Amino acid sequence: MAKRQLARRKRVLVTGGAGFLGSFLCERLLSLDHEVVCVDNFFTGTRDNIAQMFGNHRFEILRHDVTFPLYVEVDEIYNLACPASPIHYQHDPVQTTKTSVHGAINMLGLAKRTGARILQASTSEIYGDPEVHPQREDYWGRVNPIGPRSCYDEGKRCAETLFFDYRRQHQLPIKVARIFNTYGPRMQPDDGRVVSNFILQALRDEPITIYGDGRQTRSFCFVDDLIDGLIALMDTPDDFAGPVNLGNPVEFTMLELARNVIDLTGSASTLDYRPLPQDDPRQRQPDITLAREKLGWEPSVPLKDGLARTIEYFRDLIEAGLIPA
């Protein structure tokens, strides 16, 4: 039994492992009995996200910026390093593009040398402000190359190009996941994303900030479902690289989201309409036919349940005095 377990055990590198998604991924990989090397420069990730794993002898953390080369010996790589919220990725846009592009080159170089399988955390943002709805993987997207979101969108698009060129040129076993809006505990309170903003505003009985008319849509996936999808994708045969959409196809307007949050928190918050940010996509919904077919995956946590768990997390942070009430 012990021998069989060791035979299945892999050493897995997770870049961006101290972030929101990365920390859940590290925990899941440890629970599957793997060794985890978590690489992070702590730009948006925190030690608090991963502190519960420090005592595990199969968990290792390296402070490192993926724009610089990295030499470690691993069997699999999940490349998640990149700030994901507009406030953070627009803080130093040049570094954002470097993280996606140089980070991809270095991790692909590492995969090439070690023979590791490598998965890229790409994004629905590569579809930009889409004219096709819902978005399927064969849609090429509508992205502004010179706007404030471009460092993220174009950086991620170039990373996809690099992944597919390393596959064509060097036969690397790659996987590309196009992740749609994901939410859950450990979202950062101050990163301006809609779910964390609305929950904190509701818990504080402050006005809920609706950008634009609130009729723009997003499709929100709970973090546990997303992690299932990433693991299932990594486990697909080598002839399947994707790209594959991972997200929850149930679409909501921002007004509907606000109403849900107000109901679940019992908040006295009112709505406060603000200007819509530049290049804000009007609608977004994944077509997950391919994920269902190739991964046998679909999300199972309804928005209300996932929101309730996320609200509980933020309420605990407030009660513990870790963020202002």
11-35 burial: b if 16+ Cβ within 10 Å, else e: bbbbbbbbbbbbbbbbbbbbeeebb
How many residues does this entry show for the chain? Answer: 325
| Cα→Cα distances 210→24, 191, 192, Å | 29, 16, 12
197 binds ligand NAD (CB under 6 A): no
81 binds ligand NAD (CB under 6 A): yes
Q: How far apart are CA 25 and CA 14, in angstroms?
A: 8
230 binds ligand NAD (CB under 6 A): no
Q: Which is nearer to ligand UDP, 27 or 153 (CB)?
A: 153
> Known catalytic residue: 152?
yes
Q: Which is nearer to ligand UDP, 186 or 193 (CB)?
A: 193
182 binds ligand NAD (CB under 6 A): yes
Residue 99 sits at φ, ψ, to 5 deg, of -60, -45
45 interacts with, out of ligand NAD, ligand UDP, none, CB within 5 to 8 A per kind? ligand NAD
SS3 (DSSP) at 273? strand
43 binds ligand NAD (CB under 6 A): yes
121 binds ligand NAD (CB under 6 A): yes
Q: Which is nearer to ligand NAD, 67 or 207 (CB)?
A: 67
197 interacts with, out of ligand NAD, ligand UDP, none, CB within 5 to 8 A per kind? ligand UDP
Residue from 127, 152, 166, 183 carrying the catalytic annotation:
152
69 interacts with, out of ligand NAD, ligand UDP, none, CB within 5 to 8 A per kind? ligand UDP
Enumerate binding residues for ligand UDP (CB under 6 A). Answer: 69-71, 86, 105-106, 109-110, 112-113, 181, 192-194, 197, 209-211, 216, 218, 254, 276-277, 280
**Count H helices, E strands: the chain?**
11, 13
42-54 burial: b if 16+ Cβ within 10 Å, else e: ebbbeeebbeebe
Residues 6+ apart with CB under 8 A from 35: 9, 10, 11, 12, 58, 59, 60
# binding residues, ligand NAD (CB under 6 A)? 28
Radius of gyration of the chain (CA): 19
> For residue 128, is it left (φ>0), alpha (ψ between -120 and 50) or beta?
left
Q: Which is nearer to ligand NAD, 207 or 281 (CB)?
A: 281
Name the site residues for ligand NAD (rule: CB under 6 A): 15-16, 18-22, 40-45, 65-67, 80-84, 99, 103, 121, 123, 179, 181-182
Q: Catalytic residue numbers? A: 152
